[in-house]
Amino acid sequence: MSISQIILLVLTIYLVYYWVRKYTISRSLTHYSAGEVKEKLNNNIILILDVRTDMERKSRFIKGSLHIPVGQLKRRLKELEKYRNKEIVCHCHSGVRSINAASLLQKHGFKSANMKGGIAAWNFANKNNRRNKCQRI
C-alpha cells in the first residue's frame, strides 16, 4: 500500500467515524419543529437558548431567548443552573450547532432539545404572526 492510499484510508475512516458519531448524538436528542417550540414557549415551559455567534444574534433573535454562543457554552454552564427545572431548547441558524449544544447540555445533566431548522425555520413558521417573528436589535 502506498502512502497516498494509507492517507486516503485513514481519512475515510475518520469521516465515517465523524458521521456515525453525529448520527448517534442526534438520535439521542429530542428534536422539535419551530411550531412545537412556539407552543411550548407560549406555555412558558421551556427556555430557548440561542447558540449562534454574536454577529448572527445582532441580525435577528427570538424574543425571550438567552444567548450563549456554542463556543462559550462549556465555560458558561453555571449561567444555566437556574433553568435546570426547564427544558432548554437550543437553536442556531440551521440546526447543526444546536445539536452539539443540546448534546453538551445533556451530558451535564440538563434536559435539552434541538429546534429543527434553526432560526430560518422559526421565521418561516411565524411568517404571518408579527408577535412571534424574530426581533431586530
Q: pLDDT for 66-92, tens place per residue?
A: 999 999 999 999 999 999 999 999 999
CATH 3.40.250.10 fits 31-132, yes or no: yes
Confidence label for 123 from pLDDT (cuts 50, 70 and 90): confident
Three-state DSSP at 9 gives helix
Band of the pLDDT at 24, cuts 50, 70, 90? low
| 114 DSSP β-pair partners | 31, 90
With contact defined as beta carbons under 8 Å apart, do 45 and 119 qualify? Answer: no
Q: Look up residue 53 and give its three cell numbers.
A: 455567534
Residue 92 is among the residues annotated as catalytic for this protein: yes
Of 92, 101, 104, 105, which residue is the catalytic one? 92
**Given this model, what pLDDT does residue 137 score?**
42
Span 6-24, average pLDDT? 80
Q: What is the model's pTM?
A: 0.77
Average predicted confidence (pLDDT) for the chain:
87
